[in-house]
Each structure stands twice: as C-alpha cells, then as structure tokens.
C-alpha cells in the first residue's frame, strides 16, 4: 500500500470524533480511494498507535470488525464513548461520521437513544 494513501487514511481516522464511527469504506472514500475498504482494514489491523482512534472504524452495515482480533476491547472502547453496541453492531444512522459535514448526526456528537 502506498505510503501517501496510508498517511491519508491515518489523517481521516484521527479526525473521527469521540462517540462517532466511520466504516472502512467511508474512510477509503475520504482518503481518495473509494474502492479500498479492504486496504483500510489492513492498515487499521494491528496499528496500535494511541494517536489514531482505530476503534472508531467499523465494518459495513455497522458490524464491529476485527480490531486486531480483540473485538471485546473495541466494543469496550466504543461503549466508553457512549456508542451503543447491540449484537455486535452499531446503528450507523445514530453514530456515523461523514467527515466534512462536521461529524454531527441527528443526535449531536454524544450518542444515541438507548436502543
């Protein structure tokens, strides 16, 4: 994977605010390569950098995704930010961040309605 794409991915992920998520595909699109969701997943896998909130990047349809094999930790980190996870999924309509729109969904930046 070219370094410039990796740098763009990391830049996008750093901007995802607490209490919000983006899919691997969302991040790929914002980084300029809309068909590179799998590449974004590979970049996030095992990243382990405290300056990049990789736990806020999830799979399509609101599924949590792998998080380097530690889905329980990903769930705990998201829950600590006020994101409700049910049956391994997040309601994208409530928590999805879309970048340039300021990151505010219908519930502001602080979570959903308790579903």
The pair of structure tokens assigned to 3 is 């370094």
Distance, CA of 34 to CA of 115 (rounded, Å)? 31
> What percentage of the chain reaches a pLDDT higher than 70?
84
**What is the mean pLDDT of the segment spanning 81-99?**
95
pLDDT at 115 over 50: no
Distance, CA of 2 to CA of 60 (rounded, Å)? 24
DSSP letters spanning 67-112: STT-HHHHHHHHHHTT--EETTEE-HHHHB--STTTT-BTTBTS--
Query: Domains along the chain?
Result: 3-95 (1.10.10.10)
What's the pLDDT score for residue 57? 96
What's the pLDDT score for residue 1? 59
What's the pLDDT score for residue 70? 86
Which of these, 69, 67, 111, lies nearest to 90 by C-alpha position? Answer: 111
pLDDT at 42 over 60: yes
Neighbour tally for 111: CB within 10 Å? 17
What's the pLDDT score for residue 22? 98
What's the pLDDT score for residue 101? 44
Higher-pLDDT residue of 48, 78: 78
Confidence of residue 107 (pLDDT cuts 50, 70, 90): very low
**What is the mean pLDDT of the segment spanning 76-102?**
91
């Amino acid at each position: 994977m070219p370094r410039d794409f990796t740098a763009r991915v990391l830049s996008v992920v750093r901007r995802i605010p607490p209490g919000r998520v983006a899919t691997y595909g969302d991040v790929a699109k914002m980084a300029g390569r809309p068909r590179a969701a799998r590449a974004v997943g590979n970049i996030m896998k095992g990243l382990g950098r405290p300056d990049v909130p990789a736990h806020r990047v999830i799979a399509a349809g609101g599924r949590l995704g792998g998080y380097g094999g530690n889905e329980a930790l990903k769930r705990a980190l998201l829950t600590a930010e006020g994101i409700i996870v049910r049956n391994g999924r997040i309601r994208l309509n409530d928590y999805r961040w879309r970048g340039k729109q300021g990151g505010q969904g219908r519930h502001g930046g602080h979570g959903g309605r308790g579903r």
